[in-house]
Every structure is written in C-alpha cells, then in structure tokens.
Amino acid sequence: MPSERDWEQFKQKFFAKSGINLNDYKPTQMQRRITNFMTRHGVNTYLDFYALIDRNPGLYKEFIDFLTINVTEFFRTPEKFVELETKVLPDLLAKSARLSVWSAGCSTGAEPYSLAIILADLTPNTRHRILATDLDVEMLAKAKKGQYAANELKNVSPARLQKYFKPLAGGLYEISDNIRSRVEFQRHNLLLDRFESGFDLIVCRNVVIYFTEEAKDALYRRFFAALKPGGVLFVGGTEAILNFRDIGFASYLPFFYRKPL
C-alpha cells in the first residue's frame, strides 16, 4: 500500500514534470484513480510509478490523457444546448453583434465546434471569436484535426451533419473548414495560467469534477473576473455553483450564471 510520504513526493515530482498540481484535486478520488492505473501497469508505489512514466513517454501521455478525463461529444446534454441557442446566445447577441467566447477544457474540440455551429447558424455573416483551450496537447492536436466517430455526433441533427461534416472512410466524419476556421485552439492550464478577459460567454463543462472545493471556488472567481458585465458562465450538469451569489453571479438559468451589468 503506498504511503502518505510516497504520495507527497509523487505530487511534487509530477508537478515539476507536468505543471499539474494534484493538490487542487480531491485526494481520495484522485488517489483511487491513479492507484487503479498503477495496478494495471504492475506498480505498487507512487514513486515507482513516477519512475515508470518518467522513462516511458508513451505511458506518460496515456496517463495525462487518463487524468484529464477526455470524454466528449457534440452538443453534450442537448437540452442545455437548446437553451444556449434559443435564449442565452440571442440575449448576448442583442447586446453585442460580435461575441468573444471561451471553451475552457475543450478536449478534442466537440464543444467549441458545437458553439461555432450554433453561431454560424444564428449569425452566418459574423465571425465571432471562439477561443478553445486545454491542458493536453494530444487532445488539442485531435481537435485541430477535427475528425470524429459517429457516436460523438449522436446529438447532431441530420441537417447540421450534412451541412457541417464530411463523411470519411471508416465511419469517421470531418468538421468543415468553415467551422474549423472559426475556432482558435491554445494550450492552457486553468489552475496556473493567466486568463484573458472581456468574454461574453465562458463554457467550462465536466472539467472540475475532481477539483477540490477550494480550487473550484478560485476558478469560478477567475471566470467571473474574465467575463464582461452581462457575460455568462455555462457549467456542466453535475457542477452547479452553490455559492454563486458569494462570487458575484446572478441567477439566470440552471447551470448558466450571469455577471451583473
């Protein structure tokens, strides 16, 4: 059984290598996840595991991918995207003709491309700024490639599938150049790197599930500061912000929080 000292040393070494501070994650859940991964690879202590990933770049990349939970699909939780398209974005567009949008923790790009599709349909002649960021450079490379399996497109309407995707061999679909060109991808660590400001909409969904309450609170306060007055934060279906009023947000719709004007 790994010791607490082993765990503390692993966290220090891993932070120095990856820039990921495991102190910002719930320790019980994170230790369970990492221990399961270690067991699959026949390692019993955290320091032995660190030594293994340090000398094996392929396994290190696999572990980063495992750690950052890159599960994604287009229009994830479709009913919330309906609210986004029919209520939230029209409200924002009524105040500003050109929006600045940030998809934080974008994984393989399904979320920012979903936003780009909606905005292309709502305002076909306007090029909004859509910034998409993620910690994992492998996921960002996949996002820029823009190729997806059919199961990732299950919530895409037939009309949009035909309009914005090109079928490829092997059951894959490729996002159109029109939509791809609307999204700007960057590597970004939500817990370490500075934030831009002046966003009309920030989308951060299914990213903070293993964060500590302190890390989540700090993150949401930074999102609040990064929004324009009247801007909106959109979070995942299990990520309701219970102290949103303390942060400064006003109630808007379930899982949507607005920065007052």
- What value does the mean pLDDT of the chain take? 92
Query: Cβ(136)–Cβ(68) under 8 Å?
Result: yes
Rounded-to-integer distance, Cα 22 and Cα 40, Å:
21
Both tokens of 118, joined, read: 């909606």
Query: Cβ(249)–Cβ(257) under 8 Å?
Result: yes
For 8-13, which contacts have Cβ atoms below 8 Å and span 24 or more sequence positions? 9/46, 9/47, 10/46, 10/47, 10/49, 10/50, 13/47, 13/50, 13/54
How many CB atoms within 10 Å of residue 12? 14
Q: How confident is the model at residue 1 (pLDDT cuts 50, 70, 90)?
A: low
* Domain extent listing, the chain: 4-67, 78-258
Question: Regarding the domain with residue range 78-258, which homologous superfamily does it belong to in the CATH classification?
Answer: Vaccinia Virus protein VP39 (3.40.50.150)
**Beta strand 227-235 with 256-258: parallel, antiparallel or unpaired?**
antiparallel
* pLDDT tens string 214-260: 999 999 999 999 999 999 999 988 888 999 999 999 989 999 999 99
pLDDT reported for residue 210: 77
Residues annotated as catalytic are 33, 134
This prediction's pTM: 0.84
Closest by Cα among 99, 36, 37, 69 to 239? 69
* 12-19 mean pLDDT: 89
